[in-house]
Amino acid sequence: MSPLRSNMLRTKTTTPAIRPNNVARNQLLRQLEEGLTRKLTTLCAPAVT
């Protein structure tokens, strides 16, 4: 397997590390957990670089 393909696979199967400048989003997490009991949950967010 090529190194590029191996890296792509790894990024799709591992949890990313928590960044030191991470922002806690307690309300968002609470709403997502509530969504687990519903048939459909839609999440819309801007792309961030």
* pLDDT at residue 10, rounded to an integer: 65
Rounded to whole angstroms, how far apart are CA atoms 30 and 3?
Answer: 38
Enter the pTM of the model: 0.43
User: What residue ranges of the chain have pLDDT lower than 70?
Assistant: 1-12, 49
* pLDDT at residue 9, rounded to an integer: 64
* pLDDT at residue 35, rounded to an integer: 86
Cα 40 to its chain centre, rounded Å, is 17
* pLDDT at residue 7, rounded to an integer: 65
Rounded to whole angstroms, how far apart are CA atoms 31 and 44?
Answer: 13
Q: Which of 9, 26, 33, 2 is nearest to 41 (CA)?
A: 33
Q: Which of 41, 17, 14 is nearest to 30 (CA)?
A: 41
* pLDDT at residue 5, rounded to an integer: 63
